[in-house]
Amino acid sequence: MSTSHDAYLAQPSGNCCLTGTIHQGKPKGRFTIIAGIETYVSEPPAGKANGHVLLYFPDVWGMAINGLLIMDGFADAGFLVLGPDYFRGDPVTKHRKDRHDITTEPGFDFEAWKLKHTTFSDQAVPHWIKAVQEEYGKLQAKFACVGYCFGAPYVCKELAEGGSCVVGAFAHPAFLKESHFRNLTQPLFLSCSEIDHTFSTDSRNHAIGILKSESKKYHLQLFSGVEHGFALRGNPEDPYQRWVKEQSLQGIIGWLKFWLAQ
């Protein structure tokens, strides 16, 4: 239910999305092409599959190793995980002057970058989801979804009437309007940081007010002392930031498993 006053609650991605630490590890998944989009596929270990499919919608870092390792984490919990590279090899980090510096390269137009990729993704994601359903959907399989930053709106859309998923979650969201929360018909897990210039305290409280007043099924997980990007891009050498990232992941996994079992 969109209105003429459909205001942003989680703002479009900003400079805070350029910050973060590149993680270390060896991804275990593989890449394939689905609906014309390069897609990361991570399968659960032998004997651990729960029979369900998890759609993963990336943040603006796209197919950075951080996201691949998180997808592998969901796969280790039993999900068949698929994530589209809707940035088509053009993540925002490609335009930083230095991997450790949030300063962008000369002439980079962040607004134009966002418009280019939201326009493509909004058109491509529904076709990608349909193709995933056709290829990976089985008689007993249920679909869940998770999105980080840029990926949050696609989670909310798939949890609305006519969507593909029975449960979903997002962490440090961007690009969310009031209607994204009002239109929900399936359970949503919100993993948030107390400090977030994209999803401020006032905006988060407003969103929760909508969920409460309209009796939506939701759970809010809120961490102090970390900022936007905490669930993907925190510094793993900082014990607290590492703990927060893992708690976010485990909280989302627990939420998905509970509702998938209902």
Which candidate, 12, 15, 255, 24, places its Cα nearest to that of 152? 12
Q: Is 52 one of the catalytic residues?
A: no
Single out the catalytic residue among 16, 23, 117, 196. Answer: 196
Q: Is 196 one of the catalytic residues?
A: yes
Q: Is 90 one of the catalytic residues?
A: no
Single out the catalytic residue among 17, 149, 156, 165. Answer: 149
Question: Which residues are designated catalytic?
Answer: 149, 196, 228
